[in-house]
Chains A and B, each alone.
Chain A
């Protein structure tokens, strides 16, 4: 099985297709397999690379929480690329992987052709920050004490997952089965090291305002914790465009694969054609109606 070396930690990856590289970065509750509809679609014109984060078998599962962090997650993307001889790629990440993608853009801008960030924002709302950290800790303890299969029984029907269950019961069933195969230790360490300690989206304002990498923010309209962070990034980062997808929860790429693929195809083609431009400053005029003279 193919592994990329990230400072001694072995990360399992798969590849499909040839062309401009696209790297896929999965969410907490998913893995490489979450990107199947994207790998099958984009491999027609791109070199698609998906890898499992540390803590997700068959990647290594380091035992110490100190081996897991937001910065390490972003650097793992860079290390997978370097190992595969890829200097610059489109990066597409969901949720936890969306955060990692954003941090990759801030830390490794010269390696990013573009960023696509799906469902990022959990834990950012200042009013709910304390509750998020508490919920995160409860989930970590469930993994440690109950094992994965039982730990996830409340997680997989969270308020931004029921949309998937309603729309596509077959897809949802598959998601639950794959989630249940995850390493309990890896999941607990990821919650404690990455999710519980990562900075909020709002704290990234200065970096986002200066970041020049073409960025596409994608959220479901029922993924409540991502709506304001999505609008925030759109407003502070001139390189960002925002899509909110109707009647949709957290993992837009698995819930609405056709629409996601089509929007992403448009965005990547715009960037690769050299026609992408940052937001026109005239659109930032504060007028409620017309141009201020």
Chain B
């Protein structure tokens, strides 16, 4: 099985297709298999690379929580690319992976052709920050004490997952079956090392304002925790475009694969054609109606 070596962990990856490289970065309750609908579509014209984060077998599950952090997660993307001889790639991440994708853009801008972030922002709302951290610790403890099965149950009716269950019960069952194959300890350490310690999206205003990498922020209109951060990124980062997808929850690529693939295809083609431009400063005019 193919592995890329990163600091403190070997990371399992899969590849499909040839061409300009795309790296896919999965969410907390998913793994590289969450990108199947994208791998099958984009491999027609791109070199698609998906890998499992540290803590997700068959990638290594390092024993120490200190091996897990949002910085390590961004560096893992760069490590996978180096291993595969990829100097620059489109990076597409969901939720936890979207956060890593954004950090990758801030820390390794020269390796990024573009960034696509799906459902980034959970835990950013200052008013709900304390509750988010409390929930994260409680969930980590459940993974440690009760194991995967009981701990997973709380995700079953998550307010931003039930959209997938209502729309596409087959995909929801598959999502859940795959989730149940994960490492409980890997999850607990990821929660404690990555999710607990990552700063709120709002704290990156200065970096985002200066970041020049073409960025596409994607969120579901019922993924409440992502809406505020999505609008924030669009407003502070001239390189960012925002899509909100209707009647949709957290994992837009899984829930609405046809629409997600289409808007992503448009965005990547715009960037690769050299025609992408940052936001026109005239559009930032504060007028409520006409040019000032």
Interface residues of A (CB under 8 A from B): 122-123, 125, 128, 131-132, 135-136, 139, 154-155, 157-160, 162-163, 166, 216, 221-222, 225, 227-228, 230-231, 234, 241-247, 249, 259, 263, 267, 277, 279-280, 282-291, 293
B284 / chain A contacts, CB cutoff of 8 Å: 159
In the complex, the answer to whether B288 meets A123 with C-beta atoms within 8 Å is yes
**Across the two chains, which residue of chain B brings its CB closest to A134?**
B288
The answer, among B135, B222, B263, B289, for a CB contact under 8 Å with A135, is B289
> Measured between alpha carbons, how far is A19 from B222 in the docked complex, in Å?
32
* Least distance between A28 CB and chain B CB atoms (Å): 10
In the complex, the answer to whether A288 meets B135 with C-beta atoms within 8 Å is yes
Q: Mark B270-290, 1 if CB is under 8 A from A, else 0.
A: 000000010110111111111
Q: List 25 A-B contacts (CB under 8 A).
A: A135-B287, A139-B290, A154-B290, A158-B289, A158-B290, A158-B291, A159-B287, A159-B291, A160-B283, A243-B245, A243-B246, A244-B242, A246-B243, A246-B267, A279-B222, A283-B159, A283-B163, A287-B159, A288-B135, A289-B132, A289-B139, A290-B135, A290-B154, A291-B154, A291-B159
* Least distance between A73 CB and chain B CB atoms (Å): 18
Contact (A290, B155) CB under 8 Å given A231-B227, A246-B216, A282-B162 = yes
The answer, among A244, A249, A287, for a CB contact under 8 Å with B243, is A244
In the complex, the answer to whether B221 meets A242 with C-beta atoms within 8 Å is yes
In the complex, the answer to whether A159 meets B244 with C-beta atoms within 8 Å is no
In the complex, the answer to whether B159 meets A159 with C-beta atoms within 8 Å is no
Interface residues of B (CB under 8 A from A): 122-123, 125, 128, 131-132, 135-136, 139, 154-160, 162-163, 166, 216, 221-222, 225, 227, 231, 234, 241-247, 249, 263, 267, 277, 279-280, 282-291
B287 / chain A contacts, CB cutoff of 8 Å: 135, 158-159
In the complex, the answer to whether A288 meets B234 with C-beta atoms within 8 Å is no
In the complex, the answer to whether B132 meets A159 with C-beta atoms within 8 Å is no
In the complex, the answer to whether B122 meets A283 with C-beta atoms within 8 Å is no
